[in-house]
Structures are given as C-alpha cells and as structure tokens.
Amino acid sequence: MPVVSHHLSLNMRGDTQIENVTAQVQDALIASGLKAGLVTIFVQHTTASVFILEDEPGLRLDTKRLWDRLIPADPHWEHNLRNQGENNGHSHLRGQLQGCSLTIPFSDGTLALGTWQAVVIVDFDTRARTRHVVIQIMGE
C-alpha cells in the first residue's frame, strides 16, 4: 500500500487569518493516483491549526471573534511572562485546542467531504510567518 507525502508552504499573517487549502488537498490526492484510503493534513507548528469550515465571510469573522473571546491575548499568560519578547501565549493555547492534525477518508479517488466542508489552515500567531503543512495520503 503506497504512502505519498506532499508539502505545502503558506505565507500567512497570523491574527486568526484563515487560508482555504481544499484545492491543494484534492490536487495532491489526484496526483497520488490512489483510489481509497486516508488523507492526513498535518500542520508542523504550535500556533497554527487545521480544521473544517463552511468557508463564507461571516464565519471567517465569527471564528476570529470566537477565539478573541475564548482565549484572549493577555500579557499575563505565563508563556509571555517567562520568555522575554514573547507575546503569543494565547496563540499556543488556541493552536493546541483547535489541533494540528486532520484525517479525511477518500474512496473512488474522491475526498469524503460534505457539500459545505472546506479544509482550512488558521494562523493564530502575532506576526507573519511561513507555515509548513504535510499532506500525507495512504491507501490503495
């Protein structure tokens, strides 16, 4: 059973910016030639996440509002107090809760995504960074 790895580099801006990578995941699946199995999207960072979104402008704004409310930026996070120059304690806490790994089944060469499901990367950090994402495809 073959295993194929594809790598994405995304120039992101932080501050809960969202990037839709559904087309890249689908292209990687097609290029693999595999027909059934699992695609795993894995973000190689602790202040960014992958999740499934109905990608319309309202929910992009709501996502930012949600995180600013649930886990606010705060100079008093210990990560900021104990590490000189750091201000992204909240970014880490958001990233670890939303998660950096997502697994999607595919069959007949097609991802099992529902009509409104998009795969997105969210950058929770406080400055622009290049983000590395692994798209791994395993199947038959």
Count other C-beta atoms under 10 Å from residue 138's C-beta: 16
Q: Least separation, in Å, of the C-beta of 13 and a copy of itself? A: 19
What's the longest Cα–Cα distance across the chain?
A: 52
Q: Least separation, in Å, of the C-beta of 34 and a copy of itself? A: 9
Using rule CB under 8 A, residue 103 touches a copy of itself = yes
- Nearer to a copy of itself by Cβ, of 27 and 56: the residue is 56
Q: Least separation, in Å, of the C-beta of 4 and a copy of itself? A: 9
The footprint of a copy of itself on residues 6-35 (CB under 8 A) is none
